């Protein structure tokens, strides 16, 4: 007797003449297919969409930076001449630089009465400050006007990622034009290292920061008012990491199989219950007629 491989078929076929279509079954089948289609499209959207997850850890993420952080500063002082504007940098490693000029540019404003300072420089990864002042000027003005607008202050690489909304330029747009012209401004920054890793594993290093500020009038030892715009910074030991992730293909396939199988199973049970109840009701009605 030849071996019949069809014995292994667990999906035995029922002849059509032994099945009975019903209106209820048709409605349930249509609703079932629409429901499966809706869930499939929802899962497909989630599978295609890139998810950005974040985590926190304690470490210096950019160990190849040489202990430096790149800074980009763009600030306008509409009532201070460019020859008076300078950038000074200090930190706890002993750095004290007055009148930093590398990679910086001064653009006259208001017919030369004001100045826009744009500069890129680096700071050490230790607490310190950099400030815009008249300290590097050849002759100190009598009443320097430190009212200003900060267009940009950022640290590290510029991250322009749609799914990440961080404080990478928290001071951008800060307007102090209505402040006391002779007042000094202290911006106290807490810098948070930030890493963004895309799907290919490439990492970009940037820094977010929080800011608090105060305004006061400062006097020198001679009694003169010498205002400045101070940016005092410290680094957080906590690093924020953003990672792009996409749902694995096997998980997508598993979910789709679960949706199809589960929906058909529940629909079959529901149809069977309705059909059984309907047949029982018909028998009851026939019993009353007899």
Each residue's pLDDT tens digit, 128-139:
999 999 988 888
* pLDDT tens-digit map of 139-188: 888 889 999 999 999 999 887 776 777 788 999 999 999 999 999 999 99
Closest by CA position to 259, among listed 10, 31, 45, 35: 35
Instruction: Report the pLDDT value the prediction gives residue 34, as an integer from 0 to 100.
Output: 92
Instruction: Report the pLDDT value the prediction gives residue 2, as an integer from 0 to 100.
Output: 65
Is pLDDT larger for residue 48 or for residue 70?
70
Worst-scoring range by mean pLDDT, 82-96, 101-115, 268-282? 268-282
Instruction: Report the pLDDT value the prediction gives residue 11, as an integer from 0 to 100.
Output: 64
pLDDT-derived band at 212, boundaries 50, 70, 90:
very high
pLDDT-derived band at 1, boundaries 50, 70, 90:
low
Distance CA 69, CA 64 (A): 11
Instruction: Report the pLDDT value the prediction gives residue 286, as an integer from 0 to 100.
Output: 73
Worst-scoring range by mean pLDDT, 23-32, 65-74, 155-164? 155-164
Tell whether the model's pLDDT for residue 289 goes beyond 70.
no
The reply to whether the predicted model has a pTM over 0.85 is no
Instruction: Report the pLDDT value the prediction gives residue 221, as an integer from 0 to 100.
Output: 75
Query: Sign of torsion, CA 136 138 141 147?
Result: negative
Q: What is the 3-state secondary structure (H, E, C) of 143-177?
A: CCCCCCEEEEEEEECCCCCCCCCCCCCCCCCEECC
Tell whether the model's pLDDT for residue 266 goes beyond 70.
yes
């Amino acid at each position: 007797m030849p071996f019949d491989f069809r014995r292994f078929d667990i999906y035995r076929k029922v002849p059509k003449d032994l099945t009975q279509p019903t209106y209820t079954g048709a409605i349930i089948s249509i609703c079932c297919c629409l429901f499966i289609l809706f869930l499939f499209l929802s899962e497909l959207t989630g599978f295609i969409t890139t998810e950005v997850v974040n985590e926190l850890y304690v470490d210096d993420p950019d160990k190849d930076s040489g202990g430096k952080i790149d800074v980009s500063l763009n600030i306008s002082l509409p009532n201070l001449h460019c020859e008076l504007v300078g950038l000074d940098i200090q930190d706890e490693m002993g750095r004290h630089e007055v009148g930093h000029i590398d990679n910086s540019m001064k653009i006259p404003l208001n017919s030369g009465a004001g100045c826009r300072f744009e500069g890129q420089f680096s700071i050490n990864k230790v607490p310190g400050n950099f400030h815009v002042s008249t300290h590097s000027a050849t002759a100190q003005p009598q009443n320097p006007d430190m009212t200003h607008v900060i267009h940009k202050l950022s640290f590290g690489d510029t991250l322009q990622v749609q799914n990440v909304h961080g404080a990478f330029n928290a001071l951008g747009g800060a307007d102090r034009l209505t402040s006391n012209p002779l007042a000094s401004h202290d911006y106290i920054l807490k810098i948070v290292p930030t890493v963004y890793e895309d799907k290919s594993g490439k990492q970009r290093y940037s820094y977010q920061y929080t800011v608090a500020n105060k305004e006061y009038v400062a006097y020198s030892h001679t009694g003169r008012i010498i205002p400045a715009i101070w940016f005092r910074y410290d680094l957080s030991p906590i690093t924020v990491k953003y990672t792009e992730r996409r749902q694995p293909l096997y998980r997508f396939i598993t979910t789709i199989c679960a949706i199809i199988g589960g929906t058909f199973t529940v629909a079959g049970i529901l149809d069977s219950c309705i059909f059984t109840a309907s047949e029982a009701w018909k028998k009851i009605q026939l019993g009353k007629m007899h």
